[in-house]
Amino acid sequence: MTELRRDLAIISDWIKPNCRILDLGCGNGTLLKHLRDTRGVNGYGLEIDTDKIITCLNNNINVIQTDLDAGLSVFDSDSFDYIVMSQTLQAIYRPDLLIEEMLRVGREGIVTFPNFGHWKARLHIALGGHMPVYGAISYEWYNTPNIHLCTLSDFEKLCKDKGIKILQREVVTTEHKSSIAMRVLPNLLGELALYRFTKK
């Protein structure tokens, strides 16, 4: 079995066996396939890219072609145990509304996103006077799919404002490694943030 990327492995560890999961922006279905094969999870993916959808279908992954900015109105409330959105939050027009929808449709939400508060991003702006381009934020300002970059502090404030309880948080590098220093100064040293949350 192919070894999962570290961030997907963390997400996988957070998900209980034999549950129902919806993966928003599921890509080629790697996480769903792993969870189905190792934890008996019943899952669906939402994806917009036709080539990735074909890969999902070839791997017997349930997938629906849709644009996440259209919301999750096709799903009833409390349809899933977990709603996962890995490295897609920053590309959504209204991430706040989609997070609310995640917690309407699912019992818990899991998101990952690049941390714009990382020291490299700060250094690029402070010393270079330009938008950062490095590992976690690897596009130029004019061709990036990222339209709502945020920091760990920004995301945690959003959760507080929306009455959302954070259950777990992990921060890793773009190589998906962690360290003690990163746990002490997550907003400064973490390149990629992972959160598991629910309604209070």
Q: Counting Cβ atoms within 10 Å, is residue 60 exposed (0-12), middle (13-18) or buried (19+)?
A: exposed
Mean pLDDT, the chain, whole residue set = 91
CA atoms within 13 A on the CB side of 99: 27
What is the percent of the chain with per-residue pLDDT over 70, rounded to a whole number?
99
Q: What pLDDT is attached to residue 12? A: 94
- Structural domain includes residue 127: no
**101-129 pLDDT, tens per residue?**
999 999 999 999 999 998 888 988 888 88
pTM for this one? 0.91
2: pLDDT strictly greater than 70: no
Q: Is residue 124 part of a domain?
A: no
Number of domain units in the chain: 1
Question: Is 1's pLDDT higher than 60?
Answer: no
| pLDDT single digits (tens) 55-101 | 999 999 999 999 998 889 889 999 999 999 998 899 899 999 999 99
CA distance 197 to 85: 12
Q: How far apart are CA 148 and CA 146, in angstroms?
A: 6
Residue 137 lies in a domain: no
Structural domain boundaries, residue 38: 6-116+148-199
Q: Which residue has the higher pLDDT, 4 or 99?
A: 99
Domain membership of residue 1 (yes or no) is: no
Q: Is residue 140 part of a domain?
A: no
Within a domain: 123: no
Stretch 142-146: mean pLDDT, rounded? 81
Residue 78 in any domain: the answer is yes
Q: Is 80 helix (H, G, I), strand (E, B) or coil?
A: strand
Can you tell me the mean pLDDT for 162-181?
A: 90
Instruction: State how far the alpha carbon of 126 is from the alpha carbons of 34, 94, 104, 110, 138, in Å.
Output: 41, 28, 40, 32, 18
Residue 114, number of CB atoms within 10 A of its CB: 25
Question: What pLDDT score was predicted for residue 24?
Answer: 96
Q: In CATH, what number is assigned to the domain containing residue 159?
A: 3.40.50.150
Please tell me the predicted confidence (pLDDT) of residue 45: 96
Would 152 be classed as within a structural domain? yes
- For CA atoms 174, 177, 180, 183, the dihedral sign is positive
Mean pLDDT of 25-54: 94
